[in-house]
Chain A
Amino acid sequence: MSRKFTSIETKHYEERDALFAALPKLGRRDFLKVSAAAVAAAAGSGVRFFPTSFQPVTVANAATREPFTFAYVSDSHLYRKDLNDRFVRSILRAVDDVNHLDPKPDFILYGGDLAQLGKREELDLGAEILKNVQQPIRMMVGEHDWFLDMGARWRELFGEPTYSFDHKGVHFVVLMSVNEKDFWTPRGMTPEQRMGTVAGLDNGIQSRFEVGAPQREWLTNDLAKVSADTPVIVFSHSPLYKYYKNWNFWTEDADEVQAILKKFDHVTVIHGHTHQMLTNRIGNIDFHGLLSTAWPWPYAPEGLPKLTVQMSRPDPFNPNDGCGDGSAAVSADGLVDKVYNLWNRNPIEVTSGYLASNGVKSVPAMPNMKSF
């Protein structure tokens, strides 16, 4: 595998080792020197910088594109209403939010995991609620929607989970990134047992998520006709990189998918699944996580991308805290500024400038940890 596609986990350990090796020798001034060296090293390793004075002025197609926004609702994990109405209330709140956005977004992305256990009544309830979204909606599938009937009901309701479309000069791709290798047949599992296993965050019996070879081939073909200067935005349920394996915050073939996306100037991956503010940049690809309407996950014990603007510890007395929805503003250049709309908190915007400068410029207003 090419050195350029080292997983984020490996990179994290390399950085950490370097830091710990250097730490004992450091005074404050030395620390600044090391920091500067780290920036230089990052620049040397292929992370791109956009210092204003050197930025190329001509951006192909930019003149023909207009900026727009889309909003998202994700990870609602619906049970039947009479079993648990808390998550139903949350998705209703999110739909109310996106319906009241001003200006109106061009479309709404649903980020996957509409249902909790893939049941027909859960998916139907979700579909009934999402009918009330006033803008066009783009659906993505999550593992909680899939592993009871292997996507049968979801596809009846929403169509095929893998597709692409063009919108205002941007090429959008929606992937089904939560395929798993067959762990159930050898074990003689029922569909309910299979679903229950996948629904367990750290259940080690299941395999890791993957886009899979057939879909990678589809992706290669789909992108073959798209020019390199066209902005590409990819929606995937799981993060298209390797964050934390034990919780399946992970896509097994992430490096291969990133390789397919390498030829483009600007790629943005928007993913669900992790239920937290999450920011990463690998080569030419910006990654943004989505908030869940149901519950926030804590950050994983290791592997957290360093660009992540960490959200505050949720207030346990406020069941909506750490949850929410959000939007993304796509500039004429095809760059994406991501807004996390945390309920009962101030919204936090993670801009493309923040990512492009490797976290040096446009640092978002950090959440106030004391405010809960």
Chain B
Amino acid sequence: MIEHREPIGWKRGRARVAGIVGAGVLLTWSLVGVLNAETPASSAPKSADGGAVTAEQAKAVAERRRVETESPAKDAGAQKLAKGPHGALPVADQIMQIEKLGLTDSGEPPRGIDPLVWQSMVPKDNEPNAARIALGKKLYFDTRLSKDGTLACATCHDVSRSFTDRRPVSEGIADQLGQRNAPTTMNALFFQTQFLDGRAPTLEEQAKLPILNPIEMGQPSPEATIATIKDDAEYQRMFQAAYTRPVNYDDLARAIAAFERTLVFLDAPFDDFVAGDTSAISAKAAQGWILFNGKARCMTCHMLNPSNPLGTDDRFHNVGVSALKQDFEDLAGKALKALHGKEGQEGLEAVDRLALETNLSELGRFLVTKNRSDIGAFKTFQLRNIGITGPYMHDGSMQTLVDVMDNYNKGGETNPFLDGGIEPLALTDTEIENVVEFLNTLTDKRFAAEQRTETARQRAVAAKQRPFRDNALAMRKVLPFEARVMGTKEGAR
């Protein structure tokens, strides 16, 4: 098998290339105010101060509470710690947990990453050092950064929940729900762009935005954020030590980014397997790896090789998840009409105006580029630690990896903007199981216990429900677009 050809090269190459990935940031920062939020501002409830939350939302919040209380993970004894606001582990407990992960705190390159590559990855104005990392860590866990003091970065990127929140979409101040799934901050340092639509080019730029998003951390301005911590003598001392400047917003973001660059989790059973230890993963998982590179076509977007250790192409694809929403094509049509005949700045503004009036979140990358080709396209998720970072897809609409496989197996949800690389795969249930088993070997060894718990939980869920399974489409008895074309004749001829 190919993975055995250069067992040592993989481990070395992994580090080398990780650097190339990180250094290759090309995107220009072209964001318009309204899009700073993960969700267009209009879709937020009327009051970000905690006023009008609809009955529907209140019900959703109650349901989340119920699910989290009865979570099998708790029953299994993996997490016996009390939950804080928004379902997160209290930050003090999180800090205790992160100490056990053995992360670098000195500014030295993380384990397994070549020092030269590391040099090329980190911004010149934010070379990591102990002072910067310590400051970033303090900020990452500081709930004062949110308007109502209930959220820190660590609320939705929770150490005890795989540096995400394990929810379909995140919950911000006043229990408001966003539109998109919180990606894990594990390995986020390697991405070429940040956010699911790639609108931030760096971790530094990314860190500034959720704090100001009215339905996330809800601070009205950078100044207001700084005002909450600038009188803290500890922060004054730490900002001076880290950046030789008083407390300020840009350095706050830099420090958080410096801390996030320590969150490297690339030491999985799969890495031992490709390094030559064939017993590191099960025979089923090894079959899954072959399918991953062949019949299942995963590697066309989730490139996983010495050059791309994360399993993402860092690009944006419409795989039909948006199209599961009723009004997707209608919104796409409106957006294209708004854009028609306009180029450059004029086109950007036309779509931004529309985004204010309509919730265009499902159009994904399009909101950044205004390219028709990006409608409904979201960034390819990394596969590292994927087994413990569900629910899945940009809106968290799929509960298990089996659901994700079912969706790809049927060729995604057919829509006019569907990526042409998405096609029915004709995978059998056994083959799907094998691919999922393989994906679970990409979880860092430090989370082995959580992976076991989550594997059992997902198996139980998938045994009960397979909402995305469609065997007729998967096995090509019915072709994508066939129902749309052959079944819905409107008699215009």
A136 within 8 A of B: yes
Q: Mark A15-33, 1 if CB is under 8 A from B, else 0.
A: 0000000000000000000
Q: Is the CB of B481 within 8 A of A92?
A: yes
Q: Is the CB of A344 within 8 A of B373?
A: yes
Q: Which of A92, A317, A347 contacts B421 (CB 8 A)?
A: A317
Interface stretch, picked from B49-57, B155-163, B217-225, B485-493, is B485-493
Known A-B contacts A96-B484, A132-B485; the reply to A318 vs B493 at CB < 8 A is no
Q: Is the CB of B479 within 8 A of A88?
A: yes
A263 within 8 A of B: no
Q: Which of B416, B479, B490 contacts A134 (CB 8 A)?
A: B490
Instruction: Report B-chain residues with C-beta under 8 Å of the C-beta of A85.
Output: 476, 479
Q: Is the CB of B479 within 8 A of A92?
A: yes
Number of A-B contacts (CB under 8 A): 72
Known A-B contacts A99-B485, A346-B371; the reply to A323 vs B480 at CB < 8 A is no
Q: Which of A89, A315, A347 contacts B423 (CB 8 A)?
A: A89
A180 within 8 A of B: no
Q: Is the CB of B373 within 8 A of A346?
A: yes
CB of B374, distance to nearest CB on chain A (Å): 9
- The CA-CA distance from A320 to B481 in the complex, in Å, is 14
B444 within 8 A of A: no
- The CA-CA distance from A13 to B416 in the complex, in Å, is 42
Determine the main DSSP class of B at the interface with A.
Answer: loop
A42 within 8 A of B: no
Chain B, 450-493, CB within 8 A of any chain A CB: 476, 479-482, 484-486, 489-490, 492-493
Q: Mark B386-418, 1 if CB is under 8 A from A, else 0.
A: 000000000000000000000000000000110
B123 within 8 A of A: no
Q: Is the CB of B420 within 8 A of A96?
A: no
CB of B277, distance to nearest CB on chain A (Å): 30
Determine the main DSSP class of A at the interface with B.
Answer: loop
B419 within 8 A of A: yes
- The CA-CA distance from A96 to B490 in the complex, in Å, is 12
Q: Which of A89, A132, A318 contacts B480 (CB 8 A)?
A: A89
B232 within 8 A of A: no
Instruction: Report B-chain residues with C-beta under 8 Å of the C-beta of A360.
Output: none
CB of B275, distance to nearest CB on chain A (Å): 27
Q: Mark A337-355, 1 if CB is under 8 A from B, else 0.
A: 0000001111100000000
How many chain B residues touch A (CB < 8 A): the figure is 26
Residue of A nearest to B489 (CB): A132
Q: Is the CB of B419 within 8 A of A318?
A: yes
Q: Is the CB of B421 within 8 A of A319?
A: yes
Instruction: Report A-chain residues with C-beta under 8 Å of the C-beta of B481.
Output: 89, 92-93, 95-96
Residue of B nearest to A371 (CB): B373
Q: Is the CB of B489 within 8 A of A129?
A: no
Q: Mark A294-319, 1 if CB is under 8 A from B, else 0.
A: 00000000000000000000010111
Residue of A nearest to B419 (CB): A344
Residue of B nearest to A322 (CB): B420
A133 within 8 A of B: yes
B294 within 8 A of A: no
CB of B328, distance to nearest CB on chain A (Å): 13
Instruction: Report B-chain residues with C-beta under 8 Å of the C-beta of A102.
Output: 333
CB of A358, distance to nearest CB on chain B (Å): 22
Known A-B contacts A85-B476, A92-B485, A365-B343; the reply to A135 vs B492 at CB < 8 A is yes
A-B contact pairs, 21 of them (CB 8 A): A85-B476, A92-B479, A92-B481, A92-B484, A93-B480, A93-B481, A100-B416, A132-B489, A135-B492, A135-B493, A317-B300, A317-B301, A318-B421, A319-B420, A320-B419, A320-B420, A344-B373, A344-B417, A346-B373, A347-B372, A371-B373
